[in-house]
Amino acid sequence: MVPTQLELPIAPLRHPESPSAGLSIQERFEAFHQLNPWILEQLEALTSDCVDRGLKRVGIGMLFEVLRWQYGRATYGEPWRLNNDFRSRYARMLLELHPEWSSLFETRGLRTA
């Protein structure tokens, strides 16, 4: 007997639907930030540490990866713990709070508001 296609009761992996589906990135970011204020606090602490170490440039992507590596902490409101869609929003928020860091981060125009 020649085996036919193996039938396994395994469904394909699917990304869970976000409760904020249909909202703009900015609206999703604002809701996420409100539920997870610790992220901004940690980004501020990491950036301050970079300044204290004498770094002249800091990438928000690097800071996100450090948060992912160090904390692995649960977040609320989004399927992903730290959604890359929000990186530029956090960089802009850091610059609003700390204009003295303007030379650290490079920002580009937003594609969506």
- Give the pLDDT score at 11: 41
CA distances from 53 to 10, 56, 77 (A): 50, 9, 34
Within-domain flag for 53: yes
Tell me if 14 is assigned to some domain. Answer: no
Give the SS3 label for residue 48: helix
Residues of the chain with pLDDT under 50: 3-16
Assigned domain for 1 exists:
no
pLDDT at 12: 39
Cα–Cα distance measured from residue 73 to residue 81, given in angstroms and rounded to the nearest whole number:
8
Tokens of 89: 């929003």
Q: How far apart are CA 100 and CA 36, in angstroms?
A: 25
Give the per-residue pLDDT at 17.
Answer: 53
Residue 31 lies in a domain: yes
> What total of structural domains would you count in the chain?
1
Dig out the tokens for 35 from the structure: 């539920």
Q: Is residue 110 part of a domain?
A: no
Task: For residue 11, tell me if it sits in a domain.
Answer: no
For residue 44, the enclosing domain spans 25-101
How far apart, in whole angstroms, are the C-alpha atoms of residue 38 and residue 74? Answer: 11
- pTM higher than 0.95, yes or no? no
List pLDDT tens digits, range 34-63. Answer: 998 999 999 999 999 999 999 999 999 999
Domain assignment present for residue 10? The answer is no
Is position 16 within any domain?
Answer: no
